[in-house]
Structure 1
Amino acid sequence: MNEQTAHPGDTPSPGEETERLRRWRLVLGGAAESACGGLAGGDTGMDAALAALYNRDGEGEGGGGDRGAQRSDRRSGGLGGSAPAVADWLGDIRGYFPSSVVRVMQTDAVERLGLQRMLMEPEMMEAVEPDVHLVGTLLSLSQVMPEAARESARAVVRSVVEDLERRLAQHTRSVVQGALDRSARTHRPRRVSDIDWDRTIRRNLAHYLPEYRTVVPQNLVGYARRSRGVQRDVVLAVDQSGSMAESVVYSGVFGAVLASIRALKTSMVVFDTSVVDLTDRLGDPVEVLFGTRLGGGTDINRALAYCQGLIARPQDSVLVLISDLYEGGVREEMVRRVASMTAAGVQVVVLLALSDEGAPSYSRENAAALAALGVPAFACTPDRFPDLMAAAVQGRSLKAWAEQEEGASDAV
């Protein structure tokens, strides 16, 4: 006879069961009160905050699961149309939930409750938890904001940008500058420390002496002394259609960081059906972001034509096109321009997204056409962008880089 051994964790303790029922009650709302029990203390405020967002009249689905199945009068009120009420609610959820949950609820509130109008109120700006998604929303509204709200929004955007710079700037400068230093080669290294031993050994394998079990390095390969001039020209071309909001935010930050590297000459343009050159704003990423105008159509061909005019040294230039590749302009001409630039020696990088959200919906037809030219299109996270730029400035195969990254991701 088989005997089953009971484990201590199989049966929850009374305290664990109470906590489990409490959590389910918060998830399911008032409809579950008879099964899960009531709430007390701070849980009632947390429940009200959830109800205001997820249990509005006519919306039974969404983040609250069954929260809309049976509503009390309190639950059906929502947040109303008052900006102060919404500001109070934003303050409440910051007290009840961790920042990661607050950001999700803010995003849901913008989508479910139509808070775009109220985000133009200064008191709202003081209550929100800043994050990249919120910055995208604020940028899309920046052209219609009253001046008072615009200044508050600018403060929110700056706080997010400064946080991103603290996280990304130093690593980006270090990786890209290191790649630039290693990309310069010389056959007459001045010091032993300048010798690239790996390349030197491979170049001199024909001079291997079996009796001495050694390679005679007749031809040295080394790193050239660091150049004080501009070594590479970088052009960022960023699609500012509405679906690219998060990519626009990260592009603005990275554009400013790259512009701070003296060995690079960095230009940045944003485009929809027109092209705006923001290079003169790269000293301040906040100014870059407020120079964008999210939404509208897309004319990639026109943007590439402008970028071609910025490229004076094709073999020392990197063009980074950040777009979902939905082309509203002349598609065939767009493909021909990319082919022309790559033939001239430009390292063309095409990113479908620069964000943590993965690849968005994109034009597979245009991506395939570019891949046929040897220009792969893929999404890139902000954390990997510095390494991508290092590969680009060194002239390495971006297809191989992307495949290596994908393989490393699958192995995790």
Structure 2
Amino acid sequence: MTAPEDDAAGALAGTPEEQRAALERWRLVLGEPGQSVLAGGQLSEAGAGRDAALDWLYGRDEDLERRGVRQPRHGGDGPSVVTTVDWLDDITTLFPKETIERLQRDAVERYEIHDVVTDPAVLARIEPNPTLLKAVLRTKHLMNPDVLLLARRIVEAVVRQLVEKLATEVRHAFSGARSRTASRFKVARNFDIRRTLRANLGRYRPEERKVYVETAYFVSRTRRHLDQWQVILLVDQSGSMTGSVIHSAVTAACLWGLPGVKTHLVAFDTAVVDLTADVDDPVELLMKVQLGGGTDIAKAVAYGAGLIEQPRRTILVLISDLYEGGSEHRLVRLVRDIAEQGTKVLCLAALDEDADPAFDRDMGRRLADAGAAVGAMTPGQLAAFVAEQVGR
């Protein structure tokens, strides 16, 4: 076998400076055990700073000691201990923004360094981002009033960014709905692909696997308004659903006040809290959310059922990982009853930018069999779905 430095050097191209920079990156990835990659050389001053910052965070991983990669930490006459404030100041100057956010996320979520969001000195320096917003919501019960006031700055900044982004998508979704009326205006976004294919199937060439279109059809758009629809968001506030709680609050705020839409927002664990009165202020709403605790989904669905005014003009959105701590039988029965009366039931295992669902799949199948649509959506997709229903 060849030495690591030979493998790395053989794969490098470019000037000596570029090769040196690439080898230094390998050394930072591998940590102290990868020192041989530098072939006897040392890290640059900036590289040494990055290495120290990475070691401050990832060096606390207990698995390194188990595998003998490093010796246990202990006190002594070494250099002064780096504080979280020092570390944050260092990474701000040493790494690009994307890396800083990843390091902050690992500090909070992987190593539970809570003073990232509970120490006033840290909060005064930190740049708001979605990861820190989640951390604030998880740890705000640990904060005294002065710290909570500083933490609110993070909540306000990130929520403002999310609202601005989603509001644009909501405005686009509600700007006009496709109607069933044909249009002579040939606009790409109004192309009626189904009618066009049906009308031109006689021109299908099997050997070419192509349909030759003689006549293309388009639809018109109508303004969305008309009859009132209810959108009832039931949000599981267990710890694993933090991202969905945030995006539910933002989505509800963006839907609030739209013509034809009456929005409700309900948070639940083993208790049910109606937050509709604060929907127009997502920052205040999120500061009231209490994450964690058990889960009684059936109780929340029963509460949501009691809010329904016109079943066939209601969308009930259950946002939960579907791990029921109460009665599973009651939950399935309630969903079936609501769906059978004509209400559209969405069971979303995630409502966030990634729409990456993690949920009780057995319960998901049971709810789907009961008449619910089960999956995950981004906030923009949910807004588009609501707009499509309202515009019919």
TM-score normalised over the length of structure 2: 0.79
For 1:375 and 1:170, how far apart are their aligned partners in 2?
28
In the alignment, structure 1 residue 15 sits paired with structure 2 residue 12:
no
State the match for 1:28 in structure 2. 30
Match of 2:154 among 153, 156, 176: 156
| Number of residues of Structure 1 aligned to a counterpart in Structure 2 | 355
Structure 1 alignment gaps of length 5 or more: 1-8, 206-220, 396-412
For 1:79 and 1:366, how far apart are their aligned partners in 2?
53
Displacement after TM superposition at 1:45 (Å): 1.6
State the match for 2:43 in structure 1. 39
User: Deviations along 1:285-313, whole A, 9 cap, x unmatched?
Assistant: 10111121111111111101111111111
For 1:173 and 1:12, how far apart are their aligned partners in 2?
49
SS at match of 1:39: coil
Displacement after TM superposition at 1:129 (Å): 3.2
Q: Aligned pair in 2 of structure 1 residues 78, 388: CA closer, same or farther (>3 Å)?
A: farther
For 2:321 and 2:58, how far apart are their aligned partners in 1?
32
User: Deviations along 1:300-355, whole A, 9 cap, x unmatched?
Assistant: 11101111111111111111111110111111111111111111111111110112
What amino acid does structure 2 have at the position aligned with 1:363? D
For 1:344 and 1:166, how far apart are their aligned partners in 2?
36
Q: Which is further off, 163-172 or 114-123?
A: 114-123
For 1:393 and 1:320, how far apart are their aligned partners in 2?
15
State the match for 1:133 in structure 2. 131
For 2:330 and 2:242, how far apart are their aligned partners in 1?
26
User: Deviations along 1:52-102, whole A, 9 cap, x unmatched?
Assistant: 10113745189xxx995479999x99996x8xx212211221222222211
State the match for 2:291 in structure 1. 294
State the match for 2:365 in structure 1. 368
State the match for 1:213 in structure 2. none
In the alignment, structure 1 residue 338 sits paired with structure 2 residue 335:
yes
State the match for 2:168 in structure 1. 170
For 2:79 and 2:352, how far apart are their aligned partners in 1?
32
State the match for 2:204 in structure 1. none
SS at match of 2:349: strand
Displacement after TM superposition at 1:143 (Å): 2.5
1:322-361 superposed matches below 5 A: 322-361=319-358
What amino acid does structure 2 have at the position aligned with 1:252? A
For 2:80 and 2:317, how far apart are their aligned partners in 1?
43
1:174-323 superposed matches below 5 A: 174-179=172-177, 182=178, 227=225, 231-323=228-320
Displacement after TM superposition at 1:112 (Å): 4.3
Task: Please tell me whether the aligned partners of residues 30 and 72 of structure 1 are also in contact (alpha carbons under 8 angstroms).
Answer: no
User: Deviations along 1:222-250, whole A, 9 cap, x unmatched?
Assistant: 877764x6521111110000100111111
Structure 2 alignment gaps of length 5 or more: 1-9, 200-218
State the match for 1:99 in structure 2. 97
Displacement after TM superposition at 1:273 (Å): 0.5
State the match for 1:379 in structure 2. 376
Task: Please tell me whether the aligned partners of residues 116 and 123 of structure 2 are also in contact (alpha carbons under 8 angstroms).
Answer: no
Match of 1:146 among 120, 144, 147: 144
SS at match of 1:60: helix
For 1:352 and 1:307, how far apart are their aligned partners in 2?
17
For 2:297 and 2:380, how far apart are their aligned partners in 1?
26
For 1:363 and 1:89, how far apart are their aligned partners in 2?
39
State the match for 1:123 in structure 2. 121
Q: Aligned pair in 2 of structure 1 residues 11, 56: CA closer, same or farther (>3 Å)?
A: closer
For 1:268 and 1:289, how far apart are their aligned partners in 2?
12
Task: Please tell me whether the aligned partners of residues 29 and 67 of structure 1 are also in contact (alpha carbons under 8 angstroms).
Answer: no
Task: Please tell me whether the aligned partners of residues 30 and 70 of structure 1 are also in contact (alpha carbons under 8 angstroms).
Answer: no
What amino acid does structure 2 have at the position aligned with 1:168? L
For 1:54 and 1:131, how far apart are their aligned partners in 2?
21
State the match for 2:57 in structure 1. 53
Aligned CA RMSD, in angstroms, stands at 3.6
Q: Aligned pair in 2 of structure 1 residues 358, 262: CA closer, same or farther (>3 Å)?
A: closer
Q: Which is further off, 263-272 or 379-388?
A: 379-388
